Structure 1
Amino acid sequence: MCGIIGAVGARNMVPVLVEGLSRLEYRGYDSAGIAVLSEDNRIRRVRAVGRVAEMQGKAQSENLTGTLGIGHTRWATHGGVTESNAHPHISRGEIAVVHNGIIENHDEQRQRLQAMGYEFESQTDTEVIAHLIHHYLAQDLSLLDAVKHAVKELTGAFAISVLSIHYPGRMICARQGCPLLIGLGEGENFIASDVSAVLSATRNVIYLEDGDVADITKDQVRIFDAADQLVERTVHRSDLSLASLELGPYAHFMQKEIHEQPRALTDTLEAIIDDNAFSPALFGAEAATVFNEVDSILILAAGTSYYAGLTAKYWLEGIAQLPTSVEIASEYRYRKSVPNPRQLIITISQSGETLDTMEALKHAKSLGQHLTLAICNVQESAIPRASRLVLYTRAGAEIGVASTKAFTTQLVALFTLAATFAKQRGLLSQQEEQAYIDELRHLPGSVQYALNLEPQIREWAKAFSNKYHALFLGRGMHYPIALEGALKLKEISYIHAEAYPAGELKHGPLALVDKNMPVVVIAPNDALLEKVKSNMQEVSARGGELFVFADADSNFTASEGVHVIRTPRHVGVLSPILHTIPVQLLAYHAALLKGTDVDKPRNLAKSVTVE
């Protein structure tokens, strides 16, 4: 959520700032703004509520130019969606600041600064940062030292970038808990919260670490760590392509990313298929040693990644016989738990920067739990760097706020982990290993088959377009997929949807069922099929309308009030991955008919970097 871009060089950087903010739109935001240092050494700023395009129009009408500038897309936290609350924030015409994150002690700092005579124009926590830096700059400190002093007084998570009229040609930035990187150019340098924002200018990036403060000019980058020591950080070359950030022939990024899943799964599975084996080496050089120490597993995640963890519990316990718990990351560190140094802590995050999950990981490590593994889609992000082991999924850039291909590649990674543990623990025969690998090898083709059902699912979506509520049912390892289906529908269509284990229907949710409450059932041809059929009868008997996703080899017949779409043959333990595709498509087409913003649903953000 929120996005930062900054640039310093010899050319007009306004187009670079605008393009960078456009690349960051997927993160979720409700206002945008840029500030530049003009030729007459004044800070000039434009801000607008709404999309980047509206702010861009203002910049063009005001002929905004500058070789040094910072920009921001804001997702409202402190204060409403107004232009006065939009970033950048300015202190006394001398300091401009953009900020991602949350300053937890902003009320205390606001009162202190007001007592010093500072006037506040916004309700934001960010304006505190601008005035605090100005205060220290007025004490004859350099801009670099003023920022260093200011950030020491901030409690919370933040990534900030600062410019001042007293230091033309210089940006200062700092990171604590929120992502920030430096892009290295020729005679120009950049900062951003996401590599996509700087790709058109450079592929060479430095990922700042927590506590880092950087001093950036067009020709030089200096980084100081949390101990105020000048340090060298590794330069990485991004392999993200600009083409992956373009829509191509698709109407929306969500549609594109749903259809990219066969390729994303193939790429994620490549190492396993090439080696024709499950190997701990997939998870890091230390994995074989670490796995031998493990006696149980705790999965920490949020949102869609949490549902991936719930699915993985069935695999890890059923295949590897490892006791597994799954917790919502934002809840875990606020309760007393019983630490187990032999428990593997698995964190799952698409972005690798999810603050709830990062803080939960830190908490687990503070309790002495140092066997850690990250499942992540973004190279060199914070959570993998803080973990002992890591498996990167290879979903590619995911722009749509509602996760699709990142989720299914997480599931593949987690199944691979379960099979690897089972093999290492002597619970997987060579014959069983080859059977699993063969099923994985055929999975992308089965997913493509499911994608080909889109015309039928599009017709189903018409039945949801005028509804306000929906119910999703699943049993066993398909219950988390029902949860994911309900989440997708509510995220992008704004239809209120809930999911339950189908056996729980009679224990309360059945009271909701009537002709206006469509009920989606995930009904694979597994051992629980007959139980699911009984639950469906409970719905039909109350006049409910059923929409059933069944396998091709299931014995289901469509009838009055019972609609059936058949996915490919039952694919065994990988069935949850396959049944994810139809619920994604259903949500997408229901949202289209509702006329919502599919890629940028209201109130939501892609990378959640606040608690």
Structure 2
Amino acid sequence: MVKSIFLKILQKVPDFEIRIPVIGIGCGVLGLAFAKQNIKMGEIAAQLLKSLEYRGYDSTGAIIQDENGNITIRKDVGAPSELVHTLGITKLSGKIFCGQVRWATFGAVTKENSQPHDVKCKIHIYGAHNGNITNANQLKAFLIQEGHKVVSDNDGEILVHTIEHYFDMYLSELAGSVKSRKKEIRKKAMRKAIVKAGKILEGSFAAIVVDPITEMLYAIKSGSSLYVGIGNNESGNDFILASSDLTAVLRHTKILINISEGQFVEYNHKYYQVFAQKDLAIKRKGKPDLIFKAGNKIEVQPVRSKLRVEDTKLNPPFRYFMEQEIYAEVESSQKLITFFKNDNEHGKKIISILTQHNQLSNYQKAVHNILASNRLQEQQKIFYSLISDKSFTNIKNDCLKKIPHLTKLQLYGDSEVSFSKKDFYSDDANIYLDIIEKRLDAKALLLAKILDAISEQNEIKQFNDNVDKFLDIIYNAWTNGASIYTACCGTSFHAAKTGSIFFNEIASVEIIPILPGDFRGQYSKSMRNNDVLIGVSQSGETKDLIDIFNDVESLGKNIKKIAIVNNVNSTLAQEKSDVWLPIKCGPEIAVPATKSYINQITLLYYLAIRTAEMRLKYLDKNSTSKKEIEKLRHQILIRKETLDYIPKLIEETISTTQPQIEYVAEQLFLEPSMHILATKLSAIAQEGALKVRETVLNHTQGGEGAEFKHGPNTILGKNTVFGIWNIESMMKRFNNIIDFVYQEADKDNVVTVEDMEKIIKAISDYIFTQVKPFNLLPHSMRIFNDAMERFDFFGALYRNYPLIYITGPEDRDVRLTISQINTHKIRGTNTFVIAEQNEKLMLNASTSPSEDSDYKWGYIELPKTDDTLLTTFSSIVVLQLLALKMSIKKMKYLNRIKVPCHGVHPDVPKNVSKSITVD
């Protein structure tokens, strides 16, 4: 009887729905124009939309215009992988395509708020954007007042209406009362409208706007990524494609039109012209700035991208880009170290063979001509003329005889032709591989390797020249008692902090790592002549960092600026610095930076060694302390040896720690908060914490272990930080209370359905208010009192707080870590250690603070090096893998219990985005 009563009560309990809001990671926009009608336009549009799904999947939209000017709009709420079929986009044909995938920011997830927007209040245009228009609400009121019909809450519609408004205004001025259909007048009016809108629209965005009359598209870059490519398809149909994502463009063409911040492109299938959207001053080294007024033409020549689509693919057996990129750290760091040392024996032998055959200068000239051309046919003509030359046969035979490994150059992969890239080292390698395309033979493959060797030697020479300039700058600062700062953001900041340890320990030179905002507040007005500013950035386009470089330049002092970047063609490298150095990690697709971080700290490790060598030369000339000189000489020798060991250490770490990482990930993936505490290696703790925050969305803080007792330790014991496991425990405890009430009520046959309802409601209210009920009958009150006395409801919410400890193998660091473990675990923690093998550390981590304690512990044993500096490499690899595994576990768990829009993903976590900027 009571059981049936209980079931009736449960029917009245509302379902729990947990909503986790997802704020936009950037959305994605597309604009494609063909020369003529393409019956496969819908299929192409669908492919492009799906390639941008990682940027947004709240809604999907496409406008396709055919050769007769007819426009078809298809858009709705949902992901492109589904909607391109259900909306019938794949079946459309056309000449022009404007598309967008949305991650909602301004406006709810509704069909009305999906993009593109087709507007015709004053004059007909259509378009879409990605980014945010922060003054959208004010502009909406203005537009409505001016007679526009705004049908959504989406800021993209505001952008299109704003451009429409001024397009109509300028067209009336230029053409009189009759709306002109003359192309040149309409084009001029649209350019003026885009410039005017740029002065009014606030925020960061990229946009595509189309004038259906002129069939002209406009791609606008104003604070968000935008790439434009020009090409033709298999049937010879010329096209130009603009996209928020470089990979989407590279799938169709390698010829890019570089568009910079504050510029827009007017284009159709073949014609293009770049314009300044606002007043621009383009800096040039050793030359006056190029000044462009808003609306001025900017001449931009197309360039061939050095990236291949294959470089951005997810390859089996990997399931996630983050996973693939962590495993790629072995090869990436090895190539970088080989580059440092000019240690590619095959490349050097190839140069020697060319020299012996008196052909080096001819092949160098061919490399120069190939790289100077953007036309594939012209590059192929130069390339195959070398093979046709009779000297190539002798060079080929000599190469195969003296370098047997070259006979093993081969292909891998089933469905697509691609190369074993391990045999190619230069940044130009992809150009040579594109030249031979699928017309593969041993000669072509060998020649590609020969040209790659020449490019590699050119790059090594430039790198060494730049390292020498770097050392001259550091030497000048050091000998003049000046300061050296490394300004950077996010992962690059943690790399710089790690680098400061290297410079301190190896070269005894102080480097001050600092965030751009802190630099502006603490040092920008106190910099002196001979100071140095080093910017560390993956893209070389980080606005916060560029602003700091501009601030330093404006001081007018003798302050040298250095850039450490992955994209050597970036603003930071080419326009803002006196010297730049590459990290050469290649493209990185996953939002969380992994292999780029490893290459950053590998380069900084090398630069610290070279700085130590520079300092040794100084001491040899100026110091009388032989002991100091010998100590430094010994340090340099050791560090050179350990540099070679770094790739092997990363590989061993990945292969030996997986079971331990899996166990710890299982213990932590649903913990709402944790701290990572490092002894002397706080940068590693901070970077590990960032990886967990990014990919798992669990609050994680990293820092120096000794600091935890100065305030942060208040989180230990009872706190109000609750996650899913806490809620699960609470629900189980509530079920225990209900079971108790059920059992007690079963003993008393006078309990009615109404009594049971009142008892359960009274318990629910009392738990959070501590106000006893006044409406219960005596027998119900007895059951209520017994339940509240027997059960500690909130006790079920509390769990031991997880702490991860990182330490190097030095005795002092181990002792400090042991002290911290014992101090904190008696206050309610679970202990997880990342360190090399140490029995004392293991014993203290594994010992429970009390017999009845629900204590958990784990020990991830790093490969043995007995070297704290090498621990910076192995420990961060463990933390990257730990974050990856935690992210996958949590993502699958949340998907299984159907939590909507949770945003957990190792490659594309919510609220953050990454675009490929290496070229």
Larger displacement relative to structure 2 (589-598 or 22-31): 22-31
Question: Shift in Å at residue 367 of structure 1?
Answer: 4.4
The residue type equivalent to 1:303 in the other structure is G
2:218 maps to 172
Q: How does 1:456-605 map to 2 (within 5 A)?
A: 456-476=660-680, 478-514=681-717, 515-526=799-810, 527-552=812-837, 556-558=841-843, 559-560=846-847, 561-570=856-865, 571-594=867-890, 595=892, 596-605=904-913
Q: Does structure 2 conserve the Cα–Cα contact (< 8 Å) formed by 1:27 and 1:401?
A: no
Assess, with a 3 A threshold, how the Cα gap between structure 1 residues 33 and 283 changes in structure 2: closer, same or farther: farther
Percent identical among aligned pairs is 27
* Structure-1 separation of matches of 2:550 and 2:83: 38
State which structure, 1 or 2, has the greater radius of gyration over its C-alpha atoms.
2
Larger displacement relative to structure 2 (181-190 or 49-58): 49-58
1:126 maps to 156
Assess, with a 3 A threshold, how the Cα gap between structure 1 residues 473 and 245 changes in structure 2: closer, same or farther: same
Question: Shift in Å at residue 607 of structure 1?
Answer: 4.7
1:394 maps to 584
Question: Shift in Å at residue 439 of structure 1?
Answer: 1.4
* Structure-1 separation of matches of 2:530 and 2:155: 41
Deviation sequence 1:203-231 (CA, Å, 0-9, x none): 12122123322222212222234421341
Do residues 347 (structure 1) and 535 (structure 2) align? yes
Q: How does 1:104-503 map to 2 (within 5 A)?
A: 104-138=134-168, 139-140=170-171, 141-142=186-187, 143-168=190-215, 170-186=216-232, 187-225=238-276, 226=280, 227=292, 228-233=296-301, 235-274=303-342, 281=464, 283=466, 287=470, 290-294=473-477, 295-329=482-516, 337-338=524-525, 340=527, 342-368=530-556, 371-388=560-577, 389-426=579-616, 432-452=635-655, 453-476=657-680, 478-503=681-706
Deviation sequence 1:546-590 (CA, Å, 0-9, x none): 111111467533534442221112344232122101111112222
Question: Shift in Å at residue 244 of structure 1?
Answer: 3.4
Q: Does structure 2 conserve the Cα–Cα contact (< 8 Å) formed by 1:148 and 1:213?
A: no
Structure showing the higher strand proportion among its residues: 1
Question: Shift in Å at residue 272 of structure 1?
Answer: 0.8
* Structure-1 separation of matches of 2:915 and 2:544: 11
Larger displacement relative to structure 2 (342-351 or 255-264): 342-351
Q: Which runs of 5+ in 2 are unaligned?
A: 1-25, 172-185, 233-237, 281-291, 345-459, 620-631, 718-798, 848-855, 893-903
The residue type equivalent to 2:160 in the other structure is A
Question: Shift in Å at residue 104 of structure 1?
Answer: 4.8
Tell me the secondary structure at the aligned position of residue 702 of structure 2.
strand
Taking structure 2 as the reference length, what is the TM-score of the superposition?
0.61
2:119 maps to 91
* Structure-1 separation of matches of 2:297 and 2:155: 28
* Structure-2 separation of matches of 1:360 and 1:126: 31
* Structure-1 separation of matches of 2:560 and 2:42: 46
Tell me the secondary structure at the aligned position of residue 451 of structure 1.
helix
Tell me the secondary structure at the aligned position of residue 119 of structure 1.
coil
Assess, with a 3 A threshold, how the Cα gap between structure 1 residues 164 and 485 changes in structure 2: closer, same or farther: same
* Structure-2 separation of matches of 1:144 and 1:464: 55
Tell me the secondary structure at the aligned position of residue 590 of structure 2.
coil
* Structure-1 separation of matches of 2:533 and 2:61: 40
Question: Shift in Å at residue 262 of structure 1?
Answer: 0.6
Assess, with a 3 A threshold, how the Cα gap between structure 1 residues 357 and 108 changes in structure 2: closer, same or farther: farther
* Structure-2 separation of matches of 1:345 and 1:75: 37
Tell me the secondary structure at the aligned position of residue 662 of structure 2.
helix
* Structure-1 separation of matches of 2:570 and 2:499: 23
Question: Shift in Å at residue 62 of structure 1?
Answer: 7.7
Larger displacement relative to structure 2 (276-285 or 61-70): 276-285
Q: Does structure 2 conserve the Cα–Cα contact (< 8 Å) formed by 1:253 and 1:400?
A: yes
Q: Does structure 1 conserve the Cα–Cα contact (< 8 Å) formed by 2:217 and 2:268?
A: yes
* Structure-2 separation of matches of 1:282 and 1:127: 51
* Structure-2 separation of matches of 1:361 and 1:30: 38
Structure showing the higher helix proportion among its residues: 2
Question: Shift in Å at residue 493 of structure 1?
Answer: 2.2
Tell me the secondary structure at the aligned position of residue 85 of structure 1.
coil
Assess, with a 3 A threshold, how the Cα gap between structure 1 residues 456 and 358 changes in structure 2: closer, same or farther: same
Q: Does structure 1 conserve the Cα–Cα contact (< 8 Å) formed by 2:677 and 2:703?
A: yes
Q: Does structure 2 conserve the Cα–Cα contact (< 8 Å) formed by 1:208 and 1:233?
A: no
The residue type equivalent to 2:514 in the other structure is E
Question: Shift in Å at residue 511 of structure 1?
Answer: 2.9
Question: Shift in Å at residue 500 of structure 1?
Answer: 3.0
Tell me the secondary structure at the aligned position of residue 45 of structure 1.
strand
* Structure-1 separation of matches of 2:581 and 2:100: 31
The residue type equivalent to 1:56 in the other structure is V
2:438 maps to none
Taking structure 1 as the reference length, what is the TM-score of the superposition?
0.89
* Structure-1 separation of matches of 2:71 and 2:511: 55
Assess, with a 3 A threshold, how the Cα gap between structure 1 residues 88 and 312 changes in structure 2: closer, same or farther: farther
* Structure-2 separation of matches of 1:222 and 1:343: 42
Deviation sequence 1:166-195 (CA, Å, 0-9, x none): 222x22123234332221213212122332
Larger displacement relative to structure 2 (10-19 or 456-465): 10-19
Deviation sequence 1:7-26 (CA, Å, 0-9, x none): 21133444334333433444
Question: Shift in Å at residue 28 of structure 1?
Answer: 6.0
Question: Shift in Å at residue 391 of structure 1?
Answer: 2.5
How many residues align structurally? 607
The residue type equivalent to 2:677 in the other structure is L
Q: Does structure 2 conserve the Cα–Cα contact (< 8 Å) formed by 1:355 and 1:608?
A: no
The residue type equivalent to 2:247 in the other structure is S
Q: Does structure 2 conserve the Cα–Cα contact (< 8 Å) formed by 1:175 and 1:211?
A: yes
Q: Does structure 1 conserve the Cα–Cα contact (< 8 Å) formed by 2:814 and 2:841?
A: no
The residue type equivalent to 2:486 in the other structure is I
Deviation sequence 1:94-113 (CA, Å, 0-9, x none): 22233344445545544433
* Structure-2 separation of matches of 1:362 and 1:76: 34
The residue type equivalent to 1:7 in the other structure is L
Deviation sequence 1:300-344 (CA, Å, 0-9, x none): 333222222222232344444554333334665578842525433
Question: Shift in Å at residue 29 of structure 1?
Answer: 6.2
Q: Does structure 2 conserve the Cα–Cα contact (< 8 Å) formed by 1:306 and 1:326?
A: yes
Question: Shift in Å at residue 431 of structure 1?
Answer: 5.4
